[in-house]
Homo-oligomer: A and B are copies of this chain.
Amino acid sequence: MFTERFMKNRRGILLERGERVRLEAAIEDVRTLHPRMTLVRAGEPLHQSLFLIEGIMSRHMDDGNGRRQLVAVHLPGDFVDLHGYPLKRLDHDVGTMTAATVAVVPHSAFDAIVADMPVMARKLWFATMLDAAMHRAWLFRLGRLDAIGRVAHSLSETNARLFSVGLSNGRRFVLGLTQADVAEICGLTHIHVNRVVRTLREQQLCLFRSSLVEILEPQRLAVRGQFDPHYLYLSDATADPSRSERSS
Chain A residues proximal to chain B, CB less than 8 Å: 42-43, 59, 61, 63-64, 67, 69, 71-72, 83, 86-87, 91-92, 114-115, 118, 121-122, 125-126, 128-129, 131-133, 135-140, 142-145, 186-187, 226, 230-231, 233
A229 to chain B: closest residue by CB = B91
Q: Check if A142 sits within 8 Å of B86, measured CB to CB.
A: no
**Nearest CB of chain B from residue A77's CB, rounded to whole Å:** 18
Q: Check if B144 sits within 8 Å of A86, measured CB to CB.
A: no
**Nearest CB of chain B from residue A37's CB, rounded to whole Å:** 21
Tell me, in angstroms, the Cα distance from A22 to B140 when the chains sit together. Answer: 36
| Chain B residues within 8 Å of A143, by CB | 69, 142, 186-187
Q: A92-B136, A138-B139, A140-B69 are in contact. Are A128 and B125 (CB under 8 A)?
A: yes
Tell me, in angstroms, the Cα distance from A59 to B137 when the chains sit together. Answer: 12
9 interchain residue pairs of minimum CB distance: A143-B187, A135-B135, A91-B231, A142-B142, A69-B143, A132-B132, A86-B126, A71-B136, A86-B125
